[in-house]
Amino acid sequence: MTPTEFVRRALGYALGLGMPAAVLSPLFTGARDSFPLSTYPMFAQPRGQPTLYSVVALEADGREARLPPSLIGTKEVLQAKVLIQHSVEAGPEAMAQLCADAAARVAAAPGFSDARSIAIVQRRYDPVDYFVKGPTPLAEQRLFECALSPGATAPAPR
């Protein structure tokens, strides 16, 4: 075997077996989910009765409409979930900011002309029961509410 061939073979072994071993490594190291080496937890975790946060527009008669991610400040639903959750965890100041930003976007958006205020809501559900028995939450709490500001300038999407 020539030195060049030896190096090629060594590289082949190192990468050809090393890369798959790295992909498998979270199974043995207990490493946290990362990228591109992942523990792939997405469909694996039991969900139980999760608490979900949402931002809603409240109308004068008490009806509410869920705000889509674009009015919360992102295009992606998962990113919207993270934005709301971070704000809730960070406390009233962060919730006030999220609420005010959403209120300004809603004021400038079509389809929310009856909205009077914006609220950040926490609800606990049994997800299967929601669809099989009916959409009643197990628990519900309004965490923050802010008034709509007509004519406000919508902040840039986050």
Q: Nearest distance from residue 113's CB to another protein, in Å?
A: 17
Q: Determine the Cα–Cα distance for residues 144 and 56; give it in Å rounded to an integer.
A: 11
Phi, psi of 133 (to 5 degrees): -105, -35
d(Cα 101, Cα 87) in Å, to the nearest integer? 12
Structural contact between residues 158 and 74, judged by C-beta atoms closer than 8 angstroms? yes
Contact predicate 54/42, CB 8 Å: no
Which span (40-48, 107-115, 141-149) binds another protein, by CB under 8 A? 40-48
Distance of CA 114 to the CA centre of its chain: 27
Which CB sits closer to another protein, 44 or 151? 44
The residue range among 49-57, 103-111, 112-120, 143-151 that interacts with another protein, by the rule CB under 8 A, is 49-57
Residue 111 contacts another protein per CB under 8 A = no
| Contact footprint for another protein (CB under 8 A) | 5, 8-9, 11-13, 15-17, 19-21, 23-24, 26-27, 33-48, 50, 52-54, 65-69, 71-72, 74-84, 86, 90, 94, 123, 125, 127-128, 130-132, 156-158
